[in-house]
Protein backbone atom coordinates (compact mmCIF):
# COMPACT_ATOMS: atom_id res chain seq x y z
CA UNK A 1 0.00 0.00 0.00
CA UNK A 2 1.41 3.40 -0.88
CA UNK A 3 1.61 6.14 1.70
CA UNK A 4 -1.22 7.91 -0.08
CA UNK A 5 -3.40 4.77 -0.02
CA UNK A 6 -2.67 4.27 3.63
CA UNK A 7 -3.70 7.82 4.42
CA UNK A 8 -6.93 7.45 2.47
CA UNK A 9 -7.75 4.12 4.03
CA UNK A 10 -7.21 5.50 7.55
CA UNK A 11 -9.29 8.56 6.78
CA UNK A 12 -12.14 6.41 5.46
CA UNK A 13 -12.09 4.15 8.50
CA UNK A 14 -12.20 7.13 10.85
CA UNK A 15 -15.02 8.69 8.86
CA UNK A 16 -16.96 5.42 8.97
CA UNK A 17 -16.45 5.28 12.73
CA UNK A 18 -17.63 8.83 13.28
CA UNK A 19 -20.88 7.90 11.55
CA UNK A 20 -21.34 4.33 12.72
CA UNK A 21 -19.36 3.92 15.93
CA UNK A 22 -21.23 2.68 18.98
CA UNK A 23 -21.94 4.96 21.89
CA UNK A 24 -20.69 2.76 24.71
CA UNK A 25 -20.49 3.89 28.34
CA UNK A 26 -16.75 3.21 28.62
CA UNK A 27 -16.20 5.44 25.61
CA UNK A 28 -17.51 8.37 27.63
CA UNK A 29 -14.76 8.26 30.21
CA UNK A 30 -10.99 8.42 30.34
CA UNK A 31 -10.81 7.32 33.95
CA UNK A 32 -8.28 4.44 33.99
CA UNK A 33 -10.18 2.67 36.75
CA UNK A 34 -13.41 2.64 34.76
CA UNK A 35 -11.59 1.65 31.59
CA UNK A 36 -9.96 -1.24 33.43
CA UNK A 37 -13.32 -2.42 34.75
CA UNK A 38 -14.75 -2.40 31.22
CA UNK A 39 -11.76 -4.11 29.66
CA UNK A 40 -11.64 -6.92 32.22
CA UNK A 41 -15.37 -7.48 31.77
CA UNK A 42 -15.05 -7.43 27.98
CA UNK A 43 -12.23 -9.97 27.96
CA UNK A 44 -14.63 -12.88 27.81
CA UNK A 45 -18.11 -11.41 27.80
CA UNK A 46 -20.10 -9.82 25.02
CA UNK A 47 -20.73 -6.10 24.87
CA UNK A 48 -24.50 -6.24 25.50
CA UNK A 49 -24.03 -8.22 28.70
CA UNK A 50 -21.23 -6.01 29.91
CA UNK A 51 -23.28 -2.84 29.34
CA UNK A 52 -25.69 -3.46 32.22
CA UNK A 53 -23.13 -4.88 34.58
CA UNK A 54 -20.60 -2.11 34.02
CA UNK A 55 -22.97 0.54 35.38
CA UNK A 56 -24.09 -1.61 38.28
CA UNK A 57 -20.51 -2.43 39.21
CA UNK A 58 -19.39 1.18 39.17
CA UNK A 59 -22.35 2.18 41.30
CA UNK A 60 -21.30 -0.36 43.90
CA UNK A 61 -17.56 0.37 43.61
CA UNK A 62 -17.22 3.88 42.22
CA UNK A 63 -13.48 4.26 42.87
CA UNK A 64 -10.39 2.12 42.86
CA UNK A 65 -10.16 2.60 46.66
CA UNK A 66 -13.73 1.37 47.19
CA UNK A 67 -13.07 -1.74 45.14
CA UNK A 68 -9.76 -2.39 46.88
CA UNK A 69 -11.44 -2.24 50.29
CA UNK A 70 -14.53 -4.31 49.41
CA UNK A 71 -15.25 -7.78 50.71
CA UNK A 72 -14.31 -10.27 47.98
CA UNK A 73 -17.71 -11.91 48.48
CA UNK A 74 -19.43 -8.68 47.45
CA UNK A 75 -17.28 -8.38 44.34
CA UNK A 76 -18.03 -11.98 43.40
CA UNK A 77 -21.75 -11.44 44.01
CA UNK A 78 -21.94 -8.50 41.66
CA UNK A 79 -20.07 -10.40 38.96
CA UNK A 80 -23.10 -12.66 38.50
CA UNK A 81 -23.96 -13.28 34.87
CA UNK A 82 -20.56 -12.37 33.46
CA UNK A 83 -18.96 -15.79 33.88
CA UNK A 84 -15.29 -16.56 34.48
CA UNK A 85 -15.58 -15.38 38.08
CA UNK A 86 -11.87 -15.34 38.67
CA UNK A 87 -11.74 -12.09 36.72
CA UNK A 88 -13.65 -10.40 39.55
CA UNK A 89 -10.85 -11.29 41.94
CA UNK A 90 -8.11 -10.27 39.50
CA UNK A 91 -9.83 -6.94 39.12
CA UNK A 92 -9.97 -6.47 42.85
CA UNK A 93 -6.32 -7.51 43.28
CA UNK A 94 -5.37 -5.02 40.58
CA UNK A 95 -7.25 -2.31 42.46
CA UNK A 96 -5.43 -3.27 45.66
CA UNK A 97 -2.08 -3.08 43.90
CA UNK A 98 -2.90 0.37 42.51
CA UNK A 99 -3.82 1.54 45.99
CA UNK A 100 -0.93 -0.12 47.86
CA UNK A 101 1.91 0.32 45.42
CA UNK A 102 0.89 3.40 43.49
CA UNK A 103 -0.98 5.41 46.12
CA UNK A 104 -4.25 5.05 44.21
CA UNK A 105 -2.97 6.54 40.94
CA UNK A 106 -2.84 4.23 37.96
CA UNK A 107 0.61 3.81 36.45
CA UNK A 108 0.89 4.85 32.83
CA UNK A 109 3.76 2.70 31.56
CA UNK A 110 3.20 -0.50 29.66
CA UNK A 111 5.51 -2.65 31.80
CA UNK A 112 4.09 -1.42 35.11
CA UNK A 113 0.52 -1.89 33.93
CA UNK A 114 1.34 -5.46 32.92
CA UNK A 115 2.26 -6.22 36.51
CA UNK A 116 -1.34 -5.70 37.58
CA UNK A 117 -3.23 -8.99 38.03
CA UNK A 118 -5.36 -9.84 35.00
CA UNK A 119 -3.61 -7.26 32.83
CA UNK A 120 -1.71 -8.66 29.86
CA UNK A 121 -0.23 -7.03 26.80
CA UNK A 122 -3.63 -6.33 25.27
CA UNK A 123 -5.29 -4.80 28.34
CA UNK A 124 -2.21 -2.72 29.18
CA UNK A 125 -2.28 -1.24 25.69
CA UNK A 126 -6.02 -0.66 25.94
CA UNK A 127 -5.40 1.36 29.11
CA UNK A 128 -2.63 3.35 27.46
CA UNK A 129 -4.83 4.14 24.50
CA UNK A 130 -8.29 4.54 26.03
CA UNK A 131 -7.38 6.09 29.39
CA UNK A 132 -4.10 7.87 28.81
CA UNK A 133 -4.62 8.84 25.19
CA UNK A 134 -1.24 7.43 24.21
CA UNK A 135 -0.33 6.77 20.65
CA UNK A 136 -0.17 2.96 20.74
CA UNK A 137 -1.57 0.15 18.66
CA UNK A 138 -3.44 -2.69 20.29
CA UNK A 139 -4.21 -6.18 19.19
CA UNK A 140 -7.42 -7.84 20.25
CA UNK A 141 -9.10 -10.33 17.93
CA UNK A 142 -10.81 -7.55 15.96
CA UNK A 143 -7.64 -5.55 15.41
CA UNK A 144 -5.70 -8.67 14.56
CA UNK A 145 -8.22 -9.73 11.93
CA UNK A 146 -8.29 -6.29 10.38
CA UNK A 147 -4.50 -5.91 10.10
CA UNK A 148 -4.13 -9.49 8.92
CA UNK A 149 -6.66 -9.16 6.14
CA UNK A 150 -6.06 -5.62 4.99
CA UNK A 151 -2.27 -5.61 5.15
CA UNK A 152 -1.36 -9.22 4.45
CA UNK A 153 -4.29 -10.90 2.80
CA UNK A 154 -5.06 -14.47 3.67
CA UNK A 155 -1.64 -15.86 4.56
CA UNK A 156 -1.54 -15.86 8.38
CA UNK A 157 1.15 -13.73 10.07
CA UNK A 158 2.52 -13.75 13.58
CA UNK A 159 1.38 -11.20 16.15
CA UNK A 160 4.86 -9.61 16.16
CA UNK A 161 4.71 -9.08 12.43
CA UNK A 162 1.16 -7.71 12.63
CA UNK A 163 2.13 -5.38 15.45
CA UNK A 164 5.15 -4.10 13.55
CA UNK A 165 3.11 -3.38 10.44
CA UNK A 166 0.24 -1.95 12.46
CA UNK A 167 2.67 0.50 14.00
CA UNK A 168 3.53 1.78 10.56
CA UNK A 169 -0.10 2.01 9.54
CA UNK A 170 -2.11 3.44 12.41
CA UNK A 171 -2.74 7.19 12.64
CA UNK A 172 -0.52 8.38 15.47
CA UNK A 173 -2.60 11.44 16.25
CA UNK A 174 -5.95 9.63 16.22
CA UNK A 175 -4.90 6.42 17.94
CA UNK A 176 -7.79 6.49 20.40
CA UNK A 177 -10.47 6.69 17.70
CA UNK A 178 -8.60 4.31 15.44
CA UNK A 179 -8.40 1.62 18.11
CA UNK A 180 -12.07 2.02 18.97
CA UNK A 181 -13.00 2.05 15.28
CA UNK A 182 -11.34 -1.30 14.62
CA UNK A 183 -13.40 -2.82 17.45
CA UNK A 184 -16.58 -1.78 15.67
CA UNK A 185 -15.34 -2.67 12.21
CA UNK A 186 -14.48 -6.12 13.52
CA UNK A 187 -17.91 -6.44 15.03
CA UNK A 188 -19.97 -5.31 12.06
CA UNK A 189 -17.92 -5.32 8.89
CA UNK A 190 -14.68 -7.22 8.94
CA UNK A 191 -16.25 -10.05 10.88
CA UNK A 192 -14.92 -13.52 11.35
CA UNK A 193 -17.78 -14.94 9.33
CA UNK A 194 -17.56 -12.58 6.42
CA UNK A 195 -14.01 -12.69 5.15
CA UNK A 196 -14.85 -10.33 2.32
CA UNK A 197 -15.94 -6.99 3.57
CA UNK A 198 -18.89 -5.08 2.23
CA UNK A 199 -17.51 -1.59 2.39
CA UNK A 200 -16.21 -0.28 -0.92
CA UNK A 201 -13.77 2.06 0.81
CA UNK A 202 -12.11 -0.85 2.52
CA UNK A 203 -12.43 -3.38 -0.22
CA UNK A 204 -10.34 -1.11 -2.38
CA UNK A 205 -7.35 -1.47 -0.05
CA UNK A 206 -7.88 -4.85 1.50
CA UNK A 207 -5.46 -7.54 0.34
CA UNK A 208 -7.72 -10.35 1.52
CA UNK A 209 -10.54 -8.91 -0.59
CA UNK A 210 -8.15 -8.87 -3.52
CA UNK A 211 -7.53 -12.57 -2.98
CA UNK A 212 -3.89 -12.17 -1.97
CA UNK A 213 -2.26 -15.09 -0.19
CA UNK A 214 -3.29 -18.57 0.66
CA UNK A 215 -5.88 -19.23 3.37
CA UNK A 216 -4.66 -21.42 6.21
CA UNK A 217 -5.40 -25.11 5.96
CA UNK A 218 -8.64 -25.98 7.67
CA UNK A 219 -7.78 -27.08 11.17
CA UNK A 220 -10.06 -29.90 12.26
CA UNK A 221 -12.21 -28.92 15.17
CA UNK A 222 -10.97 -30.25 18.45
CA UNK A 223 -13.33 -32.53 20.26
CA UNK A 224 -14.69 -29.87 22.51
CA UNK A 225 -16.29 -30.83 25.78
CA UNK A 226 -19.96 -29.94 26.08
CA UNK A 227 -20.33 -26.99 28.44
CA UNK A 228 -22.54 -29.08 30.73
CA UNK A 229 -19.75 -31.63 31.04
CA UNK A 230 -17.02 -29.09 31.77
CA UNK A 231 -15.50 -28.18 35.11
CA UNK A 232 -16.45 -24.59 34.35
CA UNK A 233 -20.10 -25.55 34.39
CA UNK A 234 -19.82 -26.98 37.92
CA UNK A 235 -17.63 -24.12 39.13
CA UNK A 236 -20.29 -21.68 37.93
CA UNK A 237 -23.07 -23.70 39.53
CA UNK A 238 -21.32 -23.73 42.89
CA UNK A 239 -20.47 -20.02 42.87
CA UNK A 240 -24.02 -19.18 41.72
CA UNK A 241 -25.49 -21.19 44.58
CA UNK A 242 -23.21 -19.36 47.01
CA UNK A 243 -24.38 -16.02 45.61
CA UNK A 244 -27.94 -17.06 46.40
CA UNK A 245 -27.47 -18.88 49.67
CA UNK A 246 -24.34 -17.35 51.16
CA UNK A 247 -23.35 -20.71 52.54
CA UNK A 248 -23.84 -24.23 51.24
CA UNK A 249 -23.57 -27.37 53.24
CA UNK A 250 -21.94 -30.55 52.00
CA UNK A 251 -25.19 -32.28 51.16
CA UNK A 252 -26.25 -29.37 48.91
CA UNK A 253 -22.84 -29.53 47.31
CA UNK A 254 -23.40 -33.22 46.62
CA UNK A 255 -26.66 -32.35 44.91
CA UNK A 256 -25.09 -29.57 42.82
CA UNK A 257 -22.38 -31.95 41.63
CA UNK A 258 -24.73 -34.93 41.65
CA UNK A 259 -23.57 -36.72 38.55
CA UNK A 260 -19.80 -36.41 38.79
CA UNK A 261 -17.32 -38.52 40.70
CA UNK A 262 -16.28 -37.63 44.24
CA UNK A 263 -12.66 -37.25 43.12
CA UNK A 264 -13.61 -34.80 40.41
CA UNK A 265 -15.86 -32.87 42.74
CA UNK A 266 -13.04 -32.58 45.31
CA UNK A 267 -10.69 -31.34 42.62
CA UNK A 268 -13.16 -28.68 41.56
CA UNK A 269 -13.65 -27.52 45.15
CA UNK A 270 -9.87 -27.48 45.75
CA UNK A 271 -9.34 -25.36 42.67
CA UNK A 272 -12.13 -22.94 43.62
CA UNK A 273 -10.51 -22.55 47.04
CA UNK A 274 -7.06 -22.09 45.54
CA UNK A 275 -8.45 -19.42 43.20
CA UNK A 276 -9.85 -17.60 46.22
CA UNK A 277 -13.46 -17.93 45.08
CA UNK A 278 -14.66 -19.97 48.06
CA UNK A 279 -13.70 -20.66 51.65
CA UNK A 280 -14.04 -24.07 53.18
CA UNK A 281 -15.54 -24.43 56.65
CA UNK A 282 -16.08 -27.67 58.55
CA UNK A 283 -18.98 -29.16 56.62
CA UNK A 284 -19.83 -26.28 54.32
CA UNK A 285 -18.39 -23.67 52.00
CA UNK A 286 -18.89 -19.89 51.83
CA UNK A 287 -17.83 -16.98 49.65
CA UNK A 288 -14.54 -15.43 50.81
Which residue sits closest to ligand ADE, CB atoms considered? 42
The whole-angstrom separation of Cα 229 and Cα 81 is 19
Q: Does 180 bind ligand ADE (CB under 6 A)?
A: yes
Which amino acids are annotated catalytic? 39
Nearer Cβ to ligand ADE (54/79): 54
> For residue 279, what is the DSSP state?
E
Q: Which stretch binds ligand ADE (CB under 6 A): 39-47, 85-93, 108-116, 162-170?
A: 39-47
Nearer Cβ to ligand ADE (187/230): 187
Angle between helices 121-130 and 175-188 (to 10 degrees): 120
Q: Does 139 bind ligand ADE (CB under 6 A)?
A: no
Radius of gyration in angstroms for the set of CA atoms belonging to the chain, rounded to a whole number:
22
Question: Shortest distance, CB of residue 191 to ligand ADE, whole angstroms?
Answer: 13
Question: Shortest distance, CB of residue 44 to ligand ADE, whole angstroms?
Answer: 10
Chain-centroid distance of CA 261 in Å reads 33
Pick left, alpha or beta for residue 285 (phi over 0 → left; psi -120 to 50 → alpha; otherwise beta).
beta
Q: Does 42 bind ligand ADE (CB under 6 A)?
A: yes
Question: Shortest distance, CB of residue 138 to ligand ADE, whole angstroms?
Answer: 9
* Stretch 219-248 residues interacting with ligand ADE (CB under 6 A): none
Nearer Cβ to ligand ADE (24/99): 24
Answer for which of 183, 190, 206, 208 binds ligand ADE (CB under 6 A) is 183
Answer for which of 16, 34, 36, 39 binds ligand ADE (CB under 6 A) is 39
Q: Does 51 bind ligand ADE (CB under 6 A)?
A: no
Chain-centroid distance of CA 252 in Å reads 33
Nearer Cβ to ligand ADE (174/252): 174
DSSP state string for 37-101: HHHHHHTTS-HHHHHHHHHHHHHHS-SHHHHHHS-HHHHHHHTTTS--THHHHHHHHHHHHHHHH
Q: Containing H/E element for 188?
A: helix 175-188
Terminus-to-terminus CA distance in the chain, angstroms? 55
Instruction: Name the site residues for ligand ADE (rule: CB under 6 A).
Output: 24, 26, 39, 42, 47, 180, 183
Amino acid sequence: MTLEDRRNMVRSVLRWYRKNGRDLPWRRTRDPYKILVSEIMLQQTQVHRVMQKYTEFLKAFPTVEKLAAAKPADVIRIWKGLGYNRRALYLQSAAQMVVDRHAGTFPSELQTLKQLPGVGEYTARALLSFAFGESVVMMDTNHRRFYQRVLFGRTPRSDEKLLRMAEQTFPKRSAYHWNQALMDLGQFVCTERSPVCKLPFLEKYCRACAGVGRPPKKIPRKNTVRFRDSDRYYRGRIVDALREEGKIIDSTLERLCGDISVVRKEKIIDKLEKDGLIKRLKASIVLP
